[in-house]
């Protein structure tokens, strides 16, 4: 999958939600308010081992946290 396609897929995903990606990360198979909800929806759609990500409110440049 080309980076442009991958980025477009993420940019078009609902914001502030958990998204479940297919095992090869080529498509978003489910969206949920929690990790559990997105996972269950993905499993219902036949993706048994999805990869979960959180979409931000805006895709701003990232600065990670210190603790």
Partner 1 sequence: MRIQYRPQPQIETTVFPDVKYNWIPIIPVRIVDQRLQVKTPQFWAVVDTGSDNCLFHADALKPFKIKLEDGIRGRDLGGIGKQVSIPVYYHDVRVLFATDHIISIRAGFSNELAVPGVLGRNGFFDKYCVTFDHTEEPPCMTIEKIVRKKVN
Cα separations in angstroms, 44 against 19, 25, 37, 41, 47: 14, 17, 11, 5, 7
> Count of residues binding partner 1 (CB under 8 A)?
31
Is residue 63 part of the contact set for partner 1 (CB under 8 A)? yes
3-state DSSP assignment of residue 39: helix
Shortest distance (Å) from residue 3 CB to partner 1: 4
Is residue 46 part of the contact set for partner 1 (CB under 8 A)? no
Distance of CA 44 to the CA centre of its chain: 16
Interface contacts to partner 1, rule CB under 8 A: 3-4, 6-7, 10-11, 18, 20, 25, 34-36, 39, 42, 49-54, 56, 58-67
């Amino acid at each position: 999958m080309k980076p442009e396609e991958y980025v477009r897929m993420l940019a078009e995903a609902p914001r502030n939600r958990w998204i479940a990606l297919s095992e090869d990360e080529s498509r978003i198979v489910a969206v949920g308010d929690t990790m559990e909800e997105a996972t269950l929806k993905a499993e219902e759609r036949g993706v048994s081992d999805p990869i979960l990500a959180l979409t931000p409110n805006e895709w701003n440049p990232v600065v990670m946290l210190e603790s």
